[in-house]
Amino acid sequence: MTIPIALTIAGSDSSGGAGIQADLKSFAANGVYGASVITALTAQNTQGVSAIHQVPAEFVTAQIDAVFSDLAVKAVKIGMVSQRPVIEAIVAGLDRWSPENVVLDPVMVATSGDRLLAADCVEALRRGLIPRAGIITPNLPEAAALLDEAVAGDAAAIENQGRRLLALGCGAVLIKGGHGHGPMSTDYLFSGTDILALQAPRIATRNTHGTGCSLSAAIAAGLAKGQDLETAVGRAKDWVSAAIAAADRLDVGHGHGPIHHFFAFD
């Protein structure tokens, strides 16, 4: 049996709700075999992060080469990378192996609003990774941080930021609306001259840990299976919305719990 393969390059979440663990669950739930390159180890749970151990750039390179030299990777999802040498190692790896589909989730802003990346890392992200991505998936604060300006407050400002992010050289931009307000959560997909609004009801739950990681991984899974970009994004949006809606079926931890990746198997 031949199965599509997707690779996640991201940090590990010891509680299993986000990062590498969420990506691998998302791949599996969407019918794709998952491989991983770990960029950092975190000691964390549903209540927060207590420690981070950074993985050396040369070991990130070793993981990338080990995976690509053996596995037929159809799509790559890149999550949080917090060291400039690691970003440079990933850029070099992408150039060396030329994967067809690259999904970049630019994790830059914590839920508290704090910046997670130093200025030189943000610039490396802009100049190195964004031009090599087929699609980037920032939320509203991350889109603003990439452009070094205020968070967009209305649809016109979101359109302006989306088009300017597209001009950085990526193939498409998905600005996620989870940090917005109102009864509907609207994501905006910018691709060429087109804008597609994808809506889903906003769900009242505290169990949303790993939502962004899981969405970008589900997009990568769709691309790995040969879906076109619009189809992959639309199906990923529907899947993650259902996973959020089912999150309260789980009882994991005492803080912000994970979404329910395997709701379809209940």
pLDDT digits (tens, 9 = 90+) for 154-190: 889 999 999 999 999 999 999 998 655 666 789 999 9
Number of domains in the chain: 1
Closest CA to 221 of 196, 238, 245: 238
Write down the pTM of the prediction: 0.95
Residues of the chain with pLDDT below 70 are: 109-116, 178-183
The pLDDT of residue 179 is: 59
The pLDDT of residue 180 is: 58
CATH number of the domain encompassing residue 64: 3.40.1190.20
Enclosing domain of residue 220: 5-265
The length of the chain in residues reads 266
The pLDDT of residue 112 is: 46
Report the catalytic residues.
176, 208, 210-213
The pLDDT of residue 184 is: 79
